[in-house]
Amino acid sequence: MPELPEVESVCRTLRPHLTGKKIARATVHWARTVEPLVVPSFRRKVEDRTIAGVARRGKYIVLSLSGDVRMTVHLRMTGELRYFESNSAQKTSPNDYLRVEFAFAGGESLRFYDIRKFGRIRVLDSREWAEFDQELGWEPLDPDFRPSILKHVLQSRRRIVKALLLDQTVIAGLGNIYIDEALFRARIHPLQPSDSISTVKINRLHTAIREILNSAIDRRGTTLRNYRSGLGEPGENQQLLRVYGSATGAPCPRCGRGLRRTTVSQRTTTFCPNCQRLKPARSNRR
């Protein structure tokens, strides 16, 4: 399930190959992948444009196109955005999960594969991009995202901490895997109200988020099932996961007692009830 580190890895692998390439033709094999759902206008918006850059915003891949247009790609659960050299062209069978294909003038291609059809591709003009960008929250790896910012984010509202961290309009890029890992590291119970977390723990959470994301990027993401980079390689961060995916009763890597699996914000959540104690919610003054 691609989150920030996986999307960042896709961007890094695609960037050197896509920059400067001109989209000669776009072919949509599954119409609902493109938003809004109008294939001819989608094609018209991207064809004959040159890719000027590849960036990431939250969990979105953002391709800057000539003419101040941006194409955003969200992989959701099973999306893969892959680059193919011209000579590797038709190695895949026609009944695979190809949803959208961008063919470049030299015969190379950029293909969007997606088993579950949840992924979405949009084309935005500068005004739409500004709105889109504004809707998304803090980049957790932005140097301006300081512990004091996280403290404000948590204390300025009263929400279940995991639900808050999942909210992309607050912090952009975190998902189920890395949130469970970060809360475990910071020893915060996933159901803890956001305004009842001590400054010590907030600082720990800030460090945990950054370190976990950075080391996952270093390992080119977590591949549990479908995730692949822009060149088709799996990541290696799965070896570093300490709680995500563990069964109820599995030993906590820190204290050895049984982990627990539950549901928070409609997501499977794994935590250690011994290391991550739920503190009574008190009104936090000062």
Partner DNA sequence: CACTGAGCCTGCTAGC
Partner DNA sequence: TGCTAGCAGGCTCAGT
Among residue numbers 120 through 139, which ones bind DNA (CB under 7 A)?
none
Q: Judged by CB, which is closer to DNA: 5, or 104?
A: 5
Among residue numbers 101 through 120, which ones bind DNA (CB under 7 A)?
115-118
Work out how close the CB of 213 gets to DNA at its nearest, in angstroms, rounded to a whole number: 14
SS3 59: coil
For residue 21, indicate whether it is catalytic.
no
Q: Which amino acid makes up residue 63?
A: L
Work out how close the CB of 172 gets to DNA at its nearest, in angstroms, rounded to a whole number: 8
Which secondary structure element, helix H or strand E, spans residue 65, and what is its range?
Answer: strand 60-65
56 φ/ψ sector (left φ>0, alpha ψ -120 to 50, else beta): beta
Q: Which of 102, 108, 65 is nearest to 89 (CA)?
A: 108
* Catalytic, out of 45, 59, 201, 260: 59
Among 56, 59, 111, 228, binds DNA (CB under 7 A): 59
For residue 2, indicate whether it is catalytic.
yes
Written in H, E and C, the secondary structure of 60-90 is EEEEEECCCEEEEEECCCCEEEEEECHHHCC
Among 150, 153, 166, 213, binds DNA (CB under 7 A): 166
Q: Judged by CB, which is closer to DNA: 37, or 89?
A: 37
Q: Judged by CB, which is closer to DNA: 104, or 178?
A: 178
Work out how close the CB of 18 gets to DNA at its nearest, in angstroms, rounded to a whole number: 22
Give me the residues paired with residue 263 across strands. 268
101 φ/ψ sector (left φ>0, alpha ψ -120 to 50, else beta): beta
For residue 128, indicate whether it is catalytic.
no
Q: Which of 189, 46, 37 is nearest to 110 (CA)?
A: 46
Work out how close the CB of 268 gets to DNA at its nearest, in angstroms, rounded to a whole number: 3
Q: How far apart are CA 38 and CA 35, in angstroms?
A: 7
Q: Which residues are tagged catalytic?
A: 2-3, 59, 267
Q: Where on the chain is the footprint of DNA (CB under 7 A)? A: 1, 3, 32, 58-59, 74, 76-77, 115-118, 157-160, 163-164, 166, 168, 175-177, 225, 265-268
